[in-house]
């Protein structure tokens, strides 16, 4: 706890040097036997890492110094990461206690509605570590600060200037745009807090099918939707489709709505534009009751540049939570960069993770901007070729990597089965290897090159020029023993300035020819067929988990653009038109049905967690791609015009093969050319390098999945 004196040998914010007069490796490892090694086990399965053995040893030693220092000064990472129970405002039997770390301030006071904003009414005292504290005594047995009161902390800076800031650990902040764009911190202490019904912690399944969603845009109406509306209207859709995970974006409070949630101002406050913190609790609790786990999009890669309602210049200095000078600023994002080598910054960030788990029940995290965190150049104007020297020879920010290792170590240690996902474009080796082995500790990385592949092909090539080998290579190009979440398109491809797959495929005809009352044009027929095939092959071959951004499953007809100065502050494109799937006269329902069928099939055969993936055929002339996974045989005929009768496909298993899913089924707006009643018996003759083969009808621009009855 902050009130306790740290071990005198431990200097806050300075852990890069060697351990203090201690050389015993057992001491460095702390009390956890899981991290008693030297961090080089990752080399055993990747010989190309051998030249970097010293690097991995040093990186792991750095991580273990943090574990040791946290144990010595704080009593362990469990207590250390509960800073949200100590900092900020808390109701106690004596009154409301407030604590804040602001080492650059000379004076501090808690002010607000409750004391008429009098800077002399509730002055704070400072300890030797720059932590300020005060207690606002109860009045006649009642909490001195009423629920809903507006509050701020007032500092006198080193230069003598009086400034006002929102408490860094604020759990509720609100914005009244009719008065000001600046957020206010609100004391949140409701008399009837939401009571969680599903109290048992949910462990995410091995086969993750993730529905990436933004609460604010989750309504057909041009406005900001709410947590309660998402709970009522969208969760049932996610459940019906068969997704087992919803990943929520833009939950951490951000002053500018158009930042998509990536310019965080208050890290402990759920965005109030969607409702109250209890409304978010209800959303997550309801999802758990449906068997759906909930992940949070965590933004610890940077922070908003705002001063009045953010962390920038919090105590009047240029640093505090951030590096000072140019090192503390991101050139492209116009934001501040955390000082991951600081003891109190580490407490703040690790406690932030614990807070979202303990207070709201999140089951996993998707870490945004991991590439920017891990490298001193932040990935700006840097092209990664895959050469291991790009990762381990001075480019990396070791403090940031130590933080990520600690974050993953903590989440997995305290919450067995918890899931962490990294957004990384660099391909950092060992990113998704366990921390005790010497890895960074993530469970999955996003396959960010796959949506780029699809967009590039749709933009630059005709169907008949698509290369089956290239598609198969891109979908299977994953690091050994490191799992990946695959996707065709995420929120990035939905943003204005880009186009969704549906738009690339069908463009303006989506506005004129998506009704069953109109003729099925060649453009729409091709677009609907390829939309299904691209999704199916990506989910089938591309990773160990699958992600879809809301609305894209049914071919949402418009891009995403938040209200901003450039569009007249319009909400027209900041919405998802779920009403389209309810209109039986429109063709969006066919894509919705196919997405649902695809997910329910995965729920039956669990290919995402299977270990038997094998690409059987890549025929460039015929444009046929076939592979085995999850005890299923997948066959794709991407040729735009050629259908094949009795096409021979090599297969592993002997037995009877029957179709279980076809993109050509009429319920998905196909032509119904694949007869599900036809049985295909294997012949014991080597073909395509497999011990057996079957012969099947492959209609043009169609995919069929077969199950085998041995």
Tell me the catalytic residues. 368, 423
β-strand pairing of 644-651 with 656-662 = unpaired
CA pair distance 268, 272, nearest whole angstrom = 12
Helix (H) or strand (E) run with residue 249 in it: strand 245-249
Of 486, 708, 425, the residue nearest 608 (C-alpha): 486
How many CB atoms are located within 10 Å of the residue 4 CB?
A: 9
Burial track 264-290 (b if 16+ CB lie within 10 A, e otherwise):
bbbbbbbbbbbbbbbbbbbbbbbbbee
Of 253, 261, 401, 403, the residue nearest 321 (C-alpha): 403
CB 113 within 8 A of CB 128: no
How far out from the chain centre does Cα 137 lie? Answer: 41
Angle at 173 between CA 169 and CA 311, to 5 degrees: 45
CB 64 within 8 A of CB 29: yes
CA pair distance 197, 288, nearest whole angstrom = 9
CA pair distance 4, 7, nearest whole angstrom = 9
Of 645, 662, 657, the residue nearest 697 (C-alpha): 645
**Is 276 strand, coil or helix?**
coil
**Is 501 strand, coil or helix?**
helix
- Residues paired with 155 in a beta bridge: 108, 163
CB 504 within 8 A of CB 531: no
CA pair distance 303, 350, nearest whole angstrom = 15
Of 449, 432, 548, the residue nearest 500 (C-alpha): 548
Q: Is 631 left (phi over 0), alpha (psi -120 to 50) or beta?
A: left
CA pair distance 251, 253, nearest whole angstrom = 6
185: its two tokens: 């911190």
Place of tokens 């092209």: 383
Separation of first and last alpha carbons in the chain: 61
Of 251, 445, 205, the residue nearest 352 (C-alpha): 251
Of 189, 88, 186, the residue nearest 138 (C-alpha): 189
Place of tokens 């011990």: 691
Of 519, 511, 520, 528, the residue nearest 577 (C-alpha): 511
């Amino acid at each position: 706890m902050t009130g306790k004196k740290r071990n005198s040998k431990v200097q806050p914010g300075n852990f890069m040097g060697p351990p203090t007069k201690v050389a015993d490796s057992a001491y460095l490892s702390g009390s956890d036997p899981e991290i008693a090694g030297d961090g080089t086990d990752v080399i055993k399965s990747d010989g190309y890492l051998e030249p970097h053995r010293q690097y991995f040893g040093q990186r792991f030693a750095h991580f273990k110094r943090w574990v040791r220092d946290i144990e010595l000064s704080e009593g362990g990472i469990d207590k250390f990461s509960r800073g949200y129970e100590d900092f900020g405002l808390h109701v106690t039997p004596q009154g409301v206690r407030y604590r804040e770390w602001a080492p650059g301030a000379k004076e501090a006071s808690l002010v607000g509605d409750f004391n008429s904003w009098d800077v002399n009414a509730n002055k704070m005292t400072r300890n030797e570590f720059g932590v300020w504290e005060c207690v606002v005594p109860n009045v006649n047995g009642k909490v001195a600060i009423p629920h809903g009161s507006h509050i701020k902390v007032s500092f006198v800076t080193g230069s003598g200037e009086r400034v006002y800031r929102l408490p860094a650990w604020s759990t509720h902040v609100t914005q009244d745009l009719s008065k000001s764009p600046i957020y206010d911190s609100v004391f949140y202490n409701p008399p009837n807090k939401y009571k969680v019904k599903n109290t048992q912690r949910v462990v995410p399944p091995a086969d993750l099918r993730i529905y990436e969603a933004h609460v604010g845009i989750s309504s057909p109406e041009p406005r900001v939707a709410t947590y309660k509306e998402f709970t009522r209207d969208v969760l049932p859709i996610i459940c019906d489709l068969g997704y087992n995970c919803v990943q929520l974006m833009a939950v951490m409070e951000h002053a500018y709505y158009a930042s998509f949630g990536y310019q965080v101002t208050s890290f402990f406050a759920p965005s109030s534009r969607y409702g109250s913190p209890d409304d978010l609790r209800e959303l997550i609790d309801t999802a758990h009751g449906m068997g759906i786990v909930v992940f949070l999009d965590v933004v610890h890669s940077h922070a908003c540049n705002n001063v009045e309602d953010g962390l920038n210049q919090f105590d009047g200095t240029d640093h505090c939570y951030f590096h000072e000078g140019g090192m503390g600023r991101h050139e492209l994002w116009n934001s501040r960069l955390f000082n991951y080598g600081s003891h109190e910054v580490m407490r703040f960030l690790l406690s932030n993770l614990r807070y979202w788990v303990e207070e709201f029940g999140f089951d996993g995290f998707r870490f945004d901007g991991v590439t920017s965190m891990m490298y001193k150049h932040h990935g700006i104007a840097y092209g990664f070729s895959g050469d291991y020297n790009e990762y381990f020879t001075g480019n990396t920010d070791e403090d940031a990597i130590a933080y990520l290792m600690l974050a993953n170590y903590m989440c997995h240690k305290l919450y067995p089965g918890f899931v962490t996902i990294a957004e990384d474009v660099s391909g950092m080796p060992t990113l998704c290897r366990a921390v005790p082995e010497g890895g960074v500790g993530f469970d999955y990385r996003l396959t960010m090159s796959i949506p780029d592949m699809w967009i590039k092909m749709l933009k630059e090539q005709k169907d008949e020029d698509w290369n089956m080998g290239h598609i198969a290579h891109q979908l299977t190009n994953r690091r050994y023993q490191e799992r990946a979440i695959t996707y065709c398109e995420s929120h990035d491809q939905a943003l204005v300035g880009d186009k969704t797959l549906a738009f690339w495929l069908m463009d303006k005809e989506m506005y004129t020819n998506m009704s069953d009352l109109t003729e099925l044009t060649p453009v729409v027929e091709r677009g609907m067929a390829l939309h299904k095939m691209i999704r199916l092959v990506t989910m089938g071959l591309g990773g160990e988990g699958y992600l879809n951004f809301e609305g894209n499953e049914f071919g949402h007809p418009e891009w995403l653009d938040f209200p901003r100065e450039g569009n007249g502050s319009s909400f027209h494109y900041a919405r998802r038109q779920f009403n389209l799937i309810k209109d039986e006269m429109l063709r969006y329902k066919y894509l919705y049905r196919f997405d649902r069928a695809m997910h329910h099939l995965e729920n039956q055969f669990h290919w995402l967690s299977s270990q038997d993936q094998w690409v059987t055929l890549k025929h460039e002339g015929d444009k046929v791609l076939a592979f085995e996974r999850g005890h299923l045989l997948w066959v794709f005929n991407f040729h735009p015009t050629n259908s094949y009768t009795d096409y021979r496909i090599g297969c592993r298993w002997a037995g009877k093969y029957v179709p279980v899913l076809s993109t050509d089924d009429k319920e998905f707006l196909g032509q119904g050319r694949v007869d599900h009643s036809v049985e295909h018996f294997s012949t014991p003759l080597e073909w395509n390098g497999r011990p057996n083969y079957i012969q099947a009808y492959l209609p043009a621009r169609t995919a069929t999945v077969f199950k085998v009855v041995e």
